[in-house]
Structure 1
Amino acid sequence: MIKTSYVSKTIAELKPSGIRRFFDLAANLEGVVSLGVGEPDFVTSWAVREAAINSLEEGYTSYTANAGLFELRSEISWYMEKQFHVSYRPDDQIIVTVGASQALDIALRTILNPGEEVIVVEPCFVAYAPLVTMAGGIPVTVQTSKEEDFKLTPQQLEAAITPKTKAVLICSPNNPTGTQLGQEELVMLADIVKKHDLLVISDEIYAELAYDEEFTSFAAVDGMLERTIVINGFSKGFAMTGWRLGFVCAPKEISEAMLKLHQYAMMCAPTVAQHAALEALKNGMQDVEEMRRSYRRRRNYIVKSFNEMGLDCHNPGGAFYAFPSIERTGMTSMEFAEKLLTEELVAVVPGDVFGESGEGHIRCSYASSMEQLQEALRRMERFMKNHCQ
């Protein structure tokens, strides 16, 4: 018998992912239509897969440089300049990581001293607060509201800052709400960040999935390049979730410090995946555009359907999630999701797993085929009629 005292107190006190717990329930049921998994339903394009196969046939099976293939970092540098108008040097400001999750981890562990605070904007990806905690920091959550379309206001940011605040962790377009911050909104937040001499960790993994206005990187805001750590990767926009490849761009001083962590913890990202990503950046943007158009059609359909059935839903500007309110049912988010699953075999994610401000909502991914979306929405409409007469 292993003693519980052998486990770190920090890890022992972490809550398991609410998303995984819920989908363990769904996995045991037949005929479930899932709107839960945050993963593209597209297969990685053939050209990208072929590049990976060719790299194996040519014998590229050794480690790369710790920071990643220089050719890939150069391509990322060009991509960031062309797509988002921010300039990073491939030799000392870009690190290729094992997914965006590892990029987040090393960014937080690099900048935080024990007890320093990171402002985390909720609702948010379930890993943010735990990653801050595991890095020795203290997550300070700021709860956004549906009345503000789940956008962080300058007043909220200012009120959350203390002498211990080190950084703000923000995601736009957002998981789970799909909310995208526009350039003017970022400028107002940046003024406060600069006033208090803070860092920003900007999770931009959904940057390619912006539908109604051009995406603006936080690093592109005047005066923010030198105080922003940009997290990005290939999972969402390029449909490469299983390849586990991300990247982080940061000022030289921070990037070189992150590289030390990366060297000891990971050595380098998978070589095959790096060759695949190189092809994706060089020749895959047409595939990205086709996926974006498809997601936009699905978004329009699912949001319209939710509002018509009485589930008030704001129009998400990006990512592939809708975040409708279920408050009129009188159920909690967990009750709604569990009843919907057992009665109609539709899997969605309870909003409260993304933070307290997510209560009263559910997250529904529209990264599913139109046929699946139509079937799920038929079942949900029937569910609403049964419970909201």
Structure 2
Amino acid sequence: MSAARVSQRISAIAESATLAVDAKAKALKAAGRPVIGFGAGEPDFPTPGYIVQAAIEAASQPKYHRYSPAGGLPELKKAIAEKTFRDSGYKADASQVLVTNGGKQAVYNTFATLVDPGDEVIVPTPFWTTYPEAIRLAGGVPVEVFAGPEQDYLVTVEQLEAAVTDRTKILLFVSPSNPTGSVYSPEQVAEIGQWAASKGLWVVTDEIYEHLTYDGVPFTSIATAVPELGDKVVILNGVAKTYAMTGWRVGWMIGPADVIKAATNLQSHATSNVSNIPQIAALAAVSGPLTAVDEMKVAFDRRRKAIVAGLNAIDGVECPTPKGAFYVYADVRALLGKEFPTANGPVCPSTSAELAALILDEVEVAVVPGEAFGPSGYLRLSYALGDDDLATGVARLQDFLGQAK
């Protein structure tokens, strides 16, 4: 009997749906098609100039042409610790920081370090597509807890309590959320954190959208709000979203010294150090002002209001107003099973994946279906794209989806 060419572990991983949609949209654009891409969570702004300049200057220095510590440049680790205290009030030492190749490696390192085979991780749903795959790669079991639009996609303690078993080890907590843009209130954060502490659970909190909240809604770090969690909390973050640095690939994890030491050991064998030049760019970002971030947020807020209004004008679409990040999560369950006219005759999509494919084929608008983030029946749209593209894309959606019968 011949052995499988690819391991079962890797064969079981689902492709990143958000990157797949973005890749298809970019390929169609390259072929000359006028595609509007709402798929990727990527700011359309350039990285601020002072950050780019820091990288240019670093590239000319021979010391950055060499290997550096696998866990990150000491000056960057120190700056990340200081930035975390500045922005969320959480005090950590530089030894508790691991600099990673983007936020995704921080996610992977964390679950690989904390999870043993069979351990369960509670994953509030809708979730970012990478979380469950990273958990499964570590041998863990993601346990989905779904919160729908009627509760603003925010899970409750009662739902979490119902999901706990004797194998539960970790609660994943994400606020502001990708994919929904929902933000937990300070009271909700405290309640959930205190519940997790009472159960003796670890909390892994992804705070990469900490600076993107709207309507006066505050960001609340569960690590700061609930000191009872003690040393059983890991913070994930990075420069990608806040500073429009998605391609620079610098993230980090902050946690107890023993966990960070173990995760650093893993990274030393997996990738070694993050490229030194982006690390220096990240140093300039986290050490510098938030002026550019505030300017971007003004544009995001404007686009947020426009896309919510535009989607809610479509019969059969319900789109809650997100309070953070740069996504909307539209409920399109009422459109499933409806007929849509096409050149080849009417088509009746029965899932949001089929509807998303139909939208791309018929009106050249790329959106990500709910299946990437949990149950079918929803579409995620990023509004981190230019105002003109956003208006054009929403108009196409209104024209096409408005024909449903």
Match of 1:143 among 127, 143, 146: 146
**1:50: how far off?**
0.9
Pair 55,198 (structure 1): closer, same or farther in 2 beyond 3 Å: same
Match of 1:108 among 107, 111, 121: 111
Matched, 1:154 2:157: yes
**1:309: how far off?**
2.4
What are structure 1's unaligned runs of at least 5 residues?
none
1:345: which partner in 2?
Answer: 364
Q: Return the alpha-carbon distance in structure 2 between the equivalents of residues 323 and 129 of structure 1.
A: 19
What SS does the aligned partner of 1:195 have? helix
2:346: which partner in 1?
Answer: none
What SS does the aligned partner of 2:176 have? coil
| 1:341 partner letter | L
For the Cα contact (< 8 Å) 1:144–1:151, is it kept in 2? yes
1:382: which partner in 2?
Answer: 399
Q: Return the alpha-carbon distance in structure 1 between the equivalents of residues 329 and 160 of structure 2.
A: 23
What SS does the aligned partner of 1:275 have? helix
1:243: which partner in 2?
Answer: 248
Q: Return the alpha-carbon distance in structure 1 between the equivalents of residues 314 and 7 of structure 2.
A: 47
1:363: which partner in 2?
Answer: 380
For the Cα contact (< 8 Å) 1:32–1:346, is it kept in 2? yes
Note the 1:188-337 alignment, pairs <5 A: 188-212=191-215, 213-222=217-226, 223-310=228-315, 311-330=317-336, 331=349, 332-337=351-356
Pair 274,225 (structure 1): closer, same or farther in 2 beyond 3 Å: farther
For the Cα contact (< 8 Å) 2:240–2:248, is it kept in 1? yes
For the Cα contact (< 8 Å) 1:225–1:251, is it kept in 2? no
**1:4: how far off?**
5.2
Which sits farther off after the overlay, 110-119 or 379-388? 379-388
| CA offset digits 1:343-364 (Å, max 9, x no partner) | 21111111121112xx211011
What SS does the aligned partner of 1:324 have? strand
* Count of equivalent residues: 383
Note the 1:40-189 alignment, pairs <5 A: 40-59=43-62, 60-90=64-94, 92-189=95-192
For the Cα contact (< 8 Å) 2:92–2:254, is it kept in 1? yes
Pair 337,258 (structure 1): closer, same or farther in 2 beyond 3 Å: same
| CA offset digits 1:51-109 (Å, max 9, x no partner) | 1010011222112222211111111111111111110101x211111111111111111
**1:17: how far off?**
2.8
What is the aligned-residue RMSD (CA, Å)? 1.5
What SS does the aligned partner of 1:37 have? coil
Q: Return the alpha-carbon distance in structure 2 between the equivalents of residues 256 and 349 of structure 1.
A: 37
Matched, 1:31 2:34: yes
For the Cα contact (< 8 Å) 2:40–2:382, is it kept in 1? yes
For the Cα contact (< 8 Å) 1:154–1:192, is it kept in 2? yes
What SS does the aligned partner of 2:263 have? helix
TM (norm. structure 1) is: 0.95
**1:23: how far off?**
4.3
| 1:109 partner letter | A
**1:20: how far off?**
4.0
| CA offset digits 1:123-142 (Å, max 9, x no partner) | 11111111111111111111
- The structure, 1 or 2, with the larger RCO (C-alpha pairs under 8 Å, 6+ apart) is 1
| 1:164 partner letter | R
What SS does the aligned partner of 2:65 have? coil
**1:288: how far off?**
1.0
1:13: which partner in 2?
Answer: 12
For the Cα contact (< 8 Å) 1:165–1:198, is it kept in 2? yes
Pair 84,225 (structure 1): closer, same or farther in 2 beyond 3 Å: farther
Pair 20,95 (structure 1): closer, same or farther in 2 beyond 3 Å: closer
| CA offset digits 1:196-215 (Å, max 9, x no partner) | 10001111111121123111
Q: Return the alpha-carbon distance in structure 2 between the equivalents of residues 143 and 156 of structure 1.
A: 8
| CA offset digits 1:302-335 (Å, max 9, x no partner) | 1111112232111111111011111222342122
**1:121: how far off?**
1.5
For the Cα contact (< 8 Å) 2:19–2:40, is it kept in 1? no
Q: Return the alpha-carbon distance in structure 2 between the equivalents of residues 107 and 379 of structure 1.
A: 41
What are structure 2's unaligned runs of at least 5 residues?
337-348
Pair 24,247 (structure 1): closer, same or farther in 2 beyond 3 Å: closer
Q: Return the alpha-carbon distance in structure 2 between the equivalents of residues 325 and 363 of structure 1.
A: 9
Q: Return the alpha-carbon distance in structure 2 between the equivalents of residues 215 and 23 of structure 1.
A: 28
**1:158: how far off?**
0.7
| CA offset digits 1:158-189 (Å, max 9, x no partner) | 11111111101122111111111121111111
What SS does the aligned partner of 1:279 have? helix
